[in-house]
Structure 1
Amino acid sequence: MNNNKRSLDASFSVLRRKAEKKLEADRQNQPDRTPSYHEMKHVIHELEVYKIELEMQQEDLIQSRIETEEDLKRYIELYDFAPLGYFTLSRNGTIKEVNLAGSKILGIERSLLTGDRFGRFIRDEDLPVFNELLERVFSKRDPWFCEVMLLNESCSEHMPKGSLTEKQRDEGSKTIRIEAVLSNDGEECRIVLSDITAQKQLEERVGGVQAEKSESVKGEHHACAEEFDHQLLDKVIHSRIRLAAISYLNVVSRSGFVEIRDKINATDGNLSIHMKLLEAAGYIHCDKEFLERKPQTIYSITQKGRAAFNRYTGIVSELINCRNLDF
């Protein structure tokens, strides 16, 4: 803070010398006239007040500048030491700014990255994906993202690019996720880089285990698929609203129309139609009662309805068990 104040004092000293020179030049251009005592007293008063005002303004300016510099310092620290890589790219993908995390992901010193093309660090197979991202962000002004693999610099430095096998290029390469957004002036693209190599490797391992498990139960899966017959499903129950209604009645045995409607989130007209279908099949029974002198429609599940519901859920459970053989 002391350094900032000394710098400001030096700036104000230069400004004062310029003001004194201008004042001297103005005096030479004005006619020589001796002011009266009252005029001098008034001028001195105004100058003293003006001096105090300037001093107060100077203090405010100094404080504002110090606060601005502290905010800028905090912003630079947040930018440089962020856990994700931050890049600013031009329209052709030239790197204009990069933070420390970004240079670490690419494995290149930050000072060497400025002015270089970001696409130079991406595998040839993934370069069209990155170019499409830039085109979309700059032309449509839409935020977008992509996932690409970086070149394996350790291999490419010692071997001709065409002589590298796909396995050699992939070994040690990083997979990154790029999230891009256009700057306010539309001339630059801000991108955020995150290293998702470990995540992708875990997904590949899990996928391999699942593939092996799937192969081991492939025969059982086909057997279940061959045995499944959709004709076995009860068409009366096999509807969202009718299934929800009879499921609820299977639990509570007896309930009013309004309560069922609210529980399964249906409309009055829609529920009324489906309840009539269940009643016509003999799965539920309808009674009319009065509660506090108001007519109430009460539904209860029948033995036939409970048996049909249990048979339906049993068939669905067998189908689910066959599906779980894939996992």
Structure 2
Amino acid sequence: MNNKRQNSNSDQKLRHMAEEQLKENHNKMSRPATEIEVKKLVHELQVHQIELEMQNEELRQANETAELALKKYTMLYDFAPMGYFTLDVDGLICDLNFTGAELLGEKRFSLMGSKFELFVSNDSLPVFEHFMNKVFEGKTKESCKVMLGYEKKGLRPVYMEGVVTEDSLECLLSVIDISGFKE
């Protein structure tokens, strides 16, 4: 609803600006247009209207394609069978999927901005810190095994892979619960 109101205001503003420009152009005309000039102008306007309608249809189709892609990749990310996290250079959780939240035993949005290392067991903390240092220093994919859990939440072994983003500001982290695997 709010988006429709914004579009309506934007449309009104655009129309007002177009009318102002038309007034300026009309004031610049020194003589009345001939019938031939009017017919040419009407023809140009009709062609321009058809061009705009075609462009509008292309934009509508592109928007529809983008929305489908967004839906597809949102489903792929949010409901993946492994935990996905985005951590900043300080180890704060910037983003995560539902499986990641489940691994940490909390609600997804309550974890945003939390330090990931708070969920790593004390025994595994040195391994995790070394892993994070290697990821940000080496800019290559690294992996490790640690124990996740805290307080009354049971510890579980996980396998992690991480890689730093191109701008070196974030770590993309995948986490798999390996408690069901035999060594």
SS of the equivalent of 1:190 reads strand
Describe the SS at the equivalent of 1:87: strand
Q: Is 1:91 matched up with 2:89?
A: yes
Q: Distance in 2 between matches of 1:83 and 1:18?
A: 52
- What is the aligned counterpart of 1:197 among 170, 179, 183? 179
In structure 1, the partner of 2:55 is 57
Give the corresponding residue for 1:187. 169
Question: How many angstroms apart in 2 are the aligned matches of 1:194 and 1:41?
Answer: 70
Unaligned residue ranges in structure 2 (runs of 5+): none
- Provide, for residues 281-327 of structure 1, a one-character-per-residue CA deviation record: whole Å limited to 9, x for no partner: xxxxxxxxxxxxxxxxxxxxxxxxxxxxxxxxxxxxxxxxxxxxxxx
For residues 176 and 14 of structure 1, what CA distance do their matches in structure 2 show?
56
For the pair 1:177 / 2:159, whether they are aligned, the reply is yes
User: Higher helix share goes to which structure?
Assistant: 1
Instruction: Name the CA distance, whole Å, in 1 between partners of 2:142 and 2:69.
Output: 30
Stretch of structure 1 that moved more, 96-105 or 24-33? 24-33
Structure 1 residue identity aligned to 2:171: C
Counterpart of 2:62, as a letter, is: S
Contact 1:8 1:62 in 2 (8 A): no
Q: In structure 1, what is the Cα distance between the partners aligned to 2:56 and 2:10?
A: 9
Aligned AA for 2:69? D
% identity of equivalent residues: 35
Q: Where has structure 1 moved over 3 Å in runs of 4 or more?
A: 6-16
Superposed CA RMSD in Å reads: 2.4
Residue type of the alignment partner of 2:131: L
- 2 CA distance for matches of 1:150 and 1:138? 21
**Residue of structure 2 equivalent to 1:160:** none
Q: Identify the residue that residue 109 of structure 1 maps to in structure 2.
A: 107
2:110 is matched by which residue type in structure 1? L
Highest CA radius of gyration, 1 or 2? 1
Name the CA distance, whole Å, in 2 between partners of 1:84 and 1:153: 23
Secondary structure of 1:33's match?
coil
Q: CA deviation at 1:60?
A: 0.6
Distance 2:61 2:8 in 1: 16
> When the two structures are superposed, what TM-score results if normalisation uses the length of structure 1?
0.51
Equivalenced residue count is 181
Larger mean Cα displacement after TM superposition, 82-91 or 118-127: 118-127
Q: Aligned to 2:172, what secondary structure does the other structure show? A: strand
What TM-score does the superposition give when structure 2 sets the normalisation length?
A: 0.88
Deviation (angstroms), 1:11: 8.0
Q: Retained in 1: the 8 A contact 2:120–2:150? A: no
| Correspondence for 1:148 | 146
Q: Tell me the distance in 2 between the aligned counterparts of 1:10 and 1:63.
A: 21
Could you say which residue in structure 2 is the equivalent of 1:118? Answer: 116
Matches of 1:18 and 1:189, distance apart in 2? 48
**Deviation per CA, 1:65-118, whole angstroms, max 9, x where unpaired?**
011011101111111111000000101111000000000011011111100000
Which structure 1 residue ranges, 5 or more long, are not aligned?
156-171, 204-327
